Amino acid sequence: MRDDEKKHGGARIGAGRKKGSGKFGEPTKVIRVPESKVEPIQNWLERQKRSKQNWAGLLENSGFAVHQPANDSYVSLPLFSHKVVAGFPSPADDYIETTLDLNEKLVRNKEATFLLVVEGDSMQKAGIQDGDILVVDRSIEPTDGKIVIAALDGELTVKRLSVKSTGTWLVPENDNYPPIPVREEADMVIWGVVTATISQF
C-alpha cells in the first residue's frame, strides 16, 4: 500500500470534542480583573466546583436528601458554606449552596429521636452549654467516643463514652470534672447518642 493511501479517519460528521466537557462544564468568557484578585477568584471558582460535588455527595450518603418528605414539614432554608461565601459575600448571586430543612438535617430517625435541654457545663469543651437543646438518637449504637446521655443511678448526665480495655468511663469535657468510672453496665443506662446540640442566643 502506498504511503498516501495509508489513511485513517478522515472527514466525518459527529467528530470532535463535546461541548461542556471543559473544566467548568459551561461556556467561558475572558474578563479583566485586578492582579491581586486573580488568585482569590480562581480559588473561589475551584471551591464552587468542589463544594457542589461535596454537598451532592453528602446529601446522597446521609439519606437526608431531597427526596422523601411528602407529608412531613419541609422548610427549605438557604445554606451557605462559610468558605464559599468568604470571598464573595453577595447574597444576591448564586452562592447558595443548597437548601436545608433543619428537621431533616438533624433528625435521622424520627421515631427514635428526642430533644433534651442541658443543665450544667460539664461538656463545655464539646460545645455543649447550659441551656442547649440536645438532639438524641436512641437508635444509634453507643460506642467508644460517642457523646451519650447516660443515667447513672438515676442521675442523668451528658458525657463522652469511653470504652477501653481498662473499663468503661463517662468522661466530661471540662477539666473541672473528673471522669466517672462505670463499674458495671448495670449502673448505667444509656438513653441515646447525642447527634447534635443547639445553642440559642
Partner DNA sequence: CCTTTTGAATACCGTTACAATATTCATATA
Partner DNA sequence: TATATGAATATTGTAACGGTATTCAAAAGG
Q: Which residues are catalytic?
A: 122, 159
Q: How many residues does the chain have?
A: 201
1 in contact with a copy of itself (CB under 8 A): no
The 43-82 site mask, x for binding a copy of itself (CB under 8 A), equals: xxx-xx---------x--xxxxxxxxxxxxxxxxxxxxxx
The interface partner of residue 129, options being DNA, a copy of itself, none and the CB cut-off 5 to 8 Å by kind, is a copy of itself
Tell me the closest approach of the beta carbon of residue 148 to a copy of itself, in angstroms: 10
Nearer to a copy of itself, 102 or 178 (CB): 102
Q: Which of 60, 98, 95 is nearest to 79 (CA)?
A: 98
Residue ranges in 135-164 that form contacts with a copy of itself under rule CB under 8 A: 138, 146-147, 151, 154-156
Contact 149, 157 (CB under 8 A): yes
Contact 189, 182 (CB under 8 A): no
| Residue showing cell 471558582 | 45
Q: What is the CA radius of gyration of the chain?
A: 27
12 in contact with DNA (CB under 7 A): yes
Contacts for 7-12: CB closer than 8 Å, 24+ residues apart: none
Residue ranges in 5-44 that form contacts with a copy of itself under rule CB under 8 A: 24-44
The interface partner of residue 9, options being a copy of itself, DNA, none and the CB cut-off 5 to 8 Å by kind, is DNA
- How far apart are alpha carbons 160 and 173 in whole angstroms? 7
